[in-house]
């Protein structure tokens, strides 16, 4: 029965990312657009133009990552990498994700223009929050860096799922009963995203720590083989 319930969860909720056009009501669409606009303005003000190509590369990575379904053992997922974007870009993740989602709507009809604000806020706000929370821990040595990197990837997906559930709940209060199932259905994605973010951060810390804002790798990582 538990297996059947789990299967029901994962078939009923196909997955995160784009809310389609025609689902959400006007007040939610406007609110999402306003919040995303605010985040984008802050992101543009805080954008380091000397590193703008890095922003473009991360935006491109986000643009492509969601198109690739990666078989991971017995299941397959696609990545968002919004946790990684939050760690590296901070508030600049807002304009980066907004532009990438706009291009996905134009080229592939993923999501839509009316719902772009809500989709941007759903993905970018958790990214920024995780960046603010876990980036300081990257400066720490040892296991704190590993935990910070994993948590940034894990909780960015978790918060994105919660934000999407909140938007759907505000649209239809009957959704509250099944909102927790929506969040639970993304648990495998959260774990995979956390692990991928961890691997990428560890690689960057060794090879190019200045991307993460580190002047040099933490001492313990220099001695690892």
Residues that bind other proteins in the complex, under the rule CB under 8 A:
2-3, 6-24, 49, 52-53, 55-57, 59-60, 63-64, 66-67, 69, 74-78, 99-100, 103-104, 107-111, 164, 167-168, 175, 178, 182, 184-189
Q: How far apart are CA 118 and CA 163, in angstroms?
A: 9
DSSP E strand boundaries for the chain: 70-72, 75-77
**Rounded to 5 degrees, what are φ and ψ at 218?**
-55, 150
Distances in Å between the Cα of 11 and the Cα atoms of 5, 70, 132, 199 are 10, 18, 34, 29
Output 70 or 132, the one with its CB closest to other proteins: 70
Q: How far apart are CA 105 and CA 50, in angstroms?
A: 28
Output 37 or 139, the one with its CB closest to other proteins: 37
Q: How far apart are CA 192 and CA 186, in angstroms?
A: 10
Output 9 or 137, the one with its CB closest to other proteins: 9
Q: How far apart are CA 79 and CA 117, in angstroms?
A: 20
Q: How far apart are CA 58 and CA 83, in angstroms?
A: 11
Q: Least distance from C-beta 52 to other proteins, angstroms?
A: 5
Output 75 or 141, the one with its CB closest to other proteins: 75
Q: Least distance from C-beta 167 to other proteins, angstroms?
A: 8
Kind and range of the H or E element at 73? none
Q: Least distance from C-beta 161 to other proteins, angstroms?
A: 9
Q: Least distance from C-beta 67 to other proteins, angstroms?
A: 5
Q: Least distance from C-beta 42 to other proteins, angstroms?
A: 16
Output 76 or 220, the one with its CB closest to other proteins: 76
């Amino acid at each position: 029965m538990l297996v059947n319930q789990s299967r029901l969860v994962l078939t009923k909720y196909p997955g995160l990312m784009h809310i389609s056009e025609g689902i959400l009501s006007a007040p939610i669409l406007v609110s999402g657009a306003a919040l995303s606009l605010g985040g984008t303005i802050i992101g543009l003000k805080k954008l380091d133009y000397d590193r703008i190509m890095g922003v473009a590369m991360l935006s491109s990575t986000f643009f492509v990552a969601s198109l690739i379904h990666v078989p991971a053992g017995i299941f397959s997922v696609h990545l968002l990498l919004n946790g990684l974007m939050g760690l590296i870009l901070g508030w600049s993740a807002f304009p980066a994700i907004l532009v990438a989602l706009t291009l996905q709507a134009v080229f592939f009809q993923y999501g839509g223009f009316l719902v772009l604000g809500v989709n941007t806020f759903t993905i970018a706000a958790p990214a920024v929050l995780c960046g603010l929370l876990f980036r300081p821990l990257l400066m720490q040595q040892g296991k704190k860096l590993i935990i910070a990197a994993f948590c940034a990837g894990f909780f960015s997906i978790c918060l994105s799922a919660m934000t999407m559930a909140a938007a759907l709940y505000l649209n239809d209060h009957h959704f509250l009963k099944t909102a927790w199932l929506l969040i639970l259905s993304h648990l495998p994605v959260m774990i995979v995203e956390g692990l991928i973010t961890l691997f990428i951060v560890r690689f960057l810390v060794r090879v190019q720590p200045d991307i993460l804002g580190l002047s040099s790798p933490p001492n313990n990582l220099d001695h690892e083989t």
